[in-house]
Homo-oligomer: A and B are copies of this chain.
Amino acid sequence: MLVSRKNFVFQKLVNTLLEHIIKNYKVDDSLPSDVVLANQFSVSRTTVRKAVEYLEELDILVKSGATKTLIAMPNSEHFFDVSKQSKPKEKLVEEYFLTLIQHGKLKPGDKFSELELARQSDTSTVAVREFLIRFSRFGLIEKNPRSQWKMKKFDEAFVDQLYEIRHLFEMHSLSNFIQLPEDSEYWQQLNDLFIEHKNLSLKMETCYDDFPRLDQKLHGLLQRAHPNQFVNEFYDIISFVFHYHYQWDRSAERERNTLAVQEHLDFIGKMLMKDYRGAAVALERHLNTAKQSLKDTAML
C-alpha cells in the first residue's frame, strides 16, 4: 500500500503540462525553458525536468540542448489517472474525524487513539498527529503525553466565554460597519443580503437549512468591511463549535433557524436605517438566543 508515497507532484505536473500544451501550442512549436515552466506551475525545476523527460518518452516532444520541440499533440491516453489518487492526507483525516464527531461516535469525555484514527482514515499516524495538534486550537480535544487524546467536556463556562468574545467582536464589527461612508459598496452588499434573508424567510418551510450559508455570508461581509485576522480565526472556532453540537440534534433546527432569520432581518434592517442603537439591541438579542439554544442542546 505505497500509494501515498507516489509522486503526486510529478503526475499532477504532467497533466497540467499536457493540458497547457493542448491549449497553447501546436506541433513544431518549442516550449519555454525549465526555469520559466517551474515558475509558471510553482514546482521545482527538478520536477519540470522529470516531467519533460517523461514527455520525451511518450514521443510528445524532443529535446536538444536548450530547445524543447513539440512533435505530437497529446491525447487523453497520455494523462495520468488522477481520479484514483486519494486526496491529500490532511483532508482525509479531517473528513474522517469530523464524520466521527458528526455521527456522535465521539462525544465529550470519550478517548480515542491516533493509531486507530490513522487506520480508519487510511493515513499515517504522523498525518493524524499533525491534524490533531492543529485541531486542538479549537479547544475541544486535549491530550497528556503517552496517553490518548480525549474529547474535552463541554461545560457551561466554555460556552459563556465563547459568547462573551463573540459578543465583543460582533459589537465591534457593528460599530465599524456603521461608520462606513455612505457611498461604500458594502452598504449595497448589506442591502442585497437583507433581500436574501427576506426571500429565505418566505420559504422557510422547505429551505430552512439554507440559513447557515447566509449566516456565514453576513459574517464574511462584516469581516471584509473591516478585516482582522484574529477575529476571523475566532469565528472559525465559533462556527465549528456550532456545527459540532447541532450536527446530532436537528430536532428543533427549523424553529431555531426561523427565529434566527427573523433576528437577522431585524438586525440588518436597523443597520440599513442607520439605527445604531437599535441594531446593537437586535444583535444582543440574537446572540443571547444563539447562546441559550447552544446551551440547551449541549448541556442535555
Chain B residue nearest to A227 (CB atoms) is B161
Taking CB atoms, residues of chain B closer than 8 Å to A87 are: none
- Bound complex: CA A162 to CA B231 (Å): 10
Q: Which residue from chain B places its CB closest to the CB of A162 in the assembled complex?
A: B230
Chain A interface secondary structure, helix, strand, loop or mixed?
A: helix
Residues in chain B near residue A23, CB distance under 8 A: none
Which of A133-141, A264-272, A274-282 touches B?
A133-141
Question: For window 183-200 of chain A, which residues contact chain B by CB distance below 8 Å?
Answer: none
Q: For chain A residues 115-146, which have a beta carbon within 8 Å of chain B?
A: 126, 129-130, 133-134, 137, 139, 146
User: What is the 8 Å Cβ interface bit string for chain A, positions 196-238, against chain B (1 contact, 0 not)?
Assistant: 0000000000000000000000000000000111110010000
List residues of A (32-84) whose CB comes within 8 Å of B's CBs.
Answer: none
Q: Complex Cα distance A9/B145, Å?
A: 11
Picked from B126, B133, B172, the residue with its CB within 8 Å of the CB of A168 is B172
Find out whether the CB atom of B228 lies under 8 angstroms from the CB atom of A164.
yes
Residues of A in contact, count (CB < 8 Å): 23
CA of A234 to CA of B169 in the docked complex: distance in angstroms? 14
Docked-complex contact B229 and A161, CB < 8 angstroms? yes
Query: Is A165 among interface residues, defined by CB-CB distance under 8 A?
Result: yes
| A130 (CB) vs chain B CBs: closest residue | B133
- Of chain B, the residue at the smallest CB distance from A136 is B134
A126 / chain B contacts, CB cutoff of 8 Å = 126
CA–CA, A227 and B227, complex, Å: 27
Complex alpha-carbon distance, A169 and B126, angstroms: 37
Please tell me if the beta carbons of B137 and A137 are within 8 angstroms of each other in the complex.
yes
Task: Judge whether A161 and B230 touch: CB under 8 Å.
Answer: yes
Complex Cα distance, B74 from A253, in Å, reads: 66
Pair B161/A228 contact, Cβ less than 8 Å: yes
In the assembled complex, the CB of A57 is this many whole angstroms from the nearest CB of chain B, namely 24
Chain B nearest CB, measured from A127 CB (Å): 11
CB distance from A4 to the nearest CB of B (A): 13
Question: Which of A137, A139, A162, A230 has the largest number of chain B CB atoms within 10 A?
Answer: A230
Specify which chain B residues have a CB less than 8 angstroms from the CB of A133 in the assembled complex: 130, 133-134
Chain B residues contacting A129 (CB-CB under 8 Å) are 130
* Residue positions of A touching B, CB distance < 8 A: 9, 126, 129-130, 133-134, 137, 139, 146, 158, 161-162, 164-165, 168-169, 172, 227-231, 234
14 chain-A/chain-B pairs, Cβ below 8 angstroms: A126-B126, A129-B130, A130-B133, A133-B133, A133-B134, A137-B137, A139-B229, A161-B227, A161-B228, A161-B230, A165-B231, A168-B168, A168-B172, A230-B234
